[in-house]
Protein backbone atom coordinates (compact mmCIF):
# COMPACT_ATOMS: atom_id res chain seq x y z
CA UNK A 1 0.00 0.00 0.00
CA UNK A 2 1.22 3.45 -0.84
CA UNK A 3 1.35 6.21 1.72
CA UNK A 4 -1.07 9.10 1.41
CA UNK A 5 0.54 12.34 0.29
CA UNK A 6 -1.93 14.30 2.43
CA UNK A 7 -1.50 14.70 6.18
CA UNK A 8 -4.97 16.14 6.89
CA UNK A 9 -8.31 16.69 5.21
CA UNK A 10 -7.61 20.43 5.22
CA UNK A 11 -4.99 19.91 2.51
CA UNK A 12 -7.51 18.44 0.06
CA UNK A 13 -9.04 20.62 -2.67
CA UNK A 14 -12.82 21.17 -2.73
CA UNK A 15 -13.25 18.55 -5.47
CA UNK A 16 -11.14 15.44 -6.07
CA UNK A 17 -10.58 13.58 -9.32
CA UNK A 18 -9.57 9.91 -9.44
CA UNK A 19 -5.86 10.76 -9.16
CA UNK A 20 -6.42 12.81 -6.00
CA UNK A 21 -8.70 10.15 -4.50
CA UNK A 22 -5.91 7.62 -5.05
CA UNK A 23 -3.27 9.91 -3.52
CA UNK A 24 -5.46 10.68 -0.50
CA UNK A 25 -6.11 6.98 0.16
CA UNK A 26 -2.58 5.86 -0.64
CA UNK A 27 -3.65 3.47 -3.41
CA UNK A 28 -2.76 3.10 -7.08
CA UNK A 29 -4.32 5.44 -9.66
CA UNK A 30 -6.22 2.53 -11.18
CA UNK A 31 -7.70 1.67 -7.77
CA UNK A 32 -8.82 5.28 -7.34
CA UNK A 33 -10.47 5.16 -10.77
CA UNK A 34 -12.21 1.86 -10.00
CA UNK A 35 -13.43 3.18 -6.65
CA UNK A 36 -15.06 6.17 -8.33
CA UNK A 37 -17.16 3.74 -10.39
CA UNK A 38 -18.56 1.95 -7.34
CA UNK A 39 -22.30 2.56 -6.81
CA UNK A 40 -21.97 3.85 -3.22
CA UNK A 41 -19.08 6.24 -3.91
CA UNK A 42 -20.18 9.93 -3.81
CA UNK A 43 -19.35 10.99 -7.36
CA UNK A 44 -20.60 14.17 -8.99
CA UNK A 45 -20.75 13.98 -12.78
CA UNK A 46 -20.02 17.21 -14.63
CA UNK A 47 -20.38 16.40 -18.31
CA UNK A 48 -17.98 13.52 -18.90
CA UNK A 49 -15.92 14.41 -15.84
CA UNK A 50 -16.26 12.68 -12.49
CA UNK A 51 -15.30 14.50 -9.30
CA UNK A 52 -15.88 13.90 -5.62
CA UNK A 53 -16.84 16.77 -3.30
CA UNK A 54 -14.33 16.94 -0.43
CA UNK A 55 -16.98 16.76 2.31
CA UNK A 56 -18.68 13.72 0.74
CA UNK A 57 -15.28 12.02 0.40
CA UNK A 58 -14.55 12.60 4.09
CA UNK A 59 -17.97 11.20 5.04
CA UNK A 60 -17.40 8.14 2.84
CA UNK A 61 -13.98 7.48 4.43
CA UNK A 62 -15.41 7.79 7.94
CA UNK A 63 -18.32 5.49 7.11
CA UNK A 64 -16.04 2.83 5.62
CA UNK A 65 -13.33 3.02 8.24
CA UNK A 66 -15.44 2.66 11.35
CA UNK A 67 -15.70 6.37 12.10
CA UNK A 68 -12.19 7.76 11.73
CA UNK A 69 -9.44 8.16 9.19
pTM, to two decimals: 0.85
| pLDDT (0 to 100) of residue 3 | 79
Number of H helices, E strands in the chain: 3, 3
Exposure of 50 in the CB half-sphere (CA atoms within 13 A):
15
| pLDDT (0 to 100) of residue 66 | 78
Rg (the chain; Cα; Å): 11
Could you state, in chain order, the average pLDDT of each consecutive group of 10 residues for the chain (69 residues)? 82 96 94 95 96 97 78
Amino acid sequence: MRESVYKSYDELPLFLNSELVAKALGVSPSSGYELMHQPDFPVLRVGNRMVVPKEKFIQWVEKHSGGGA
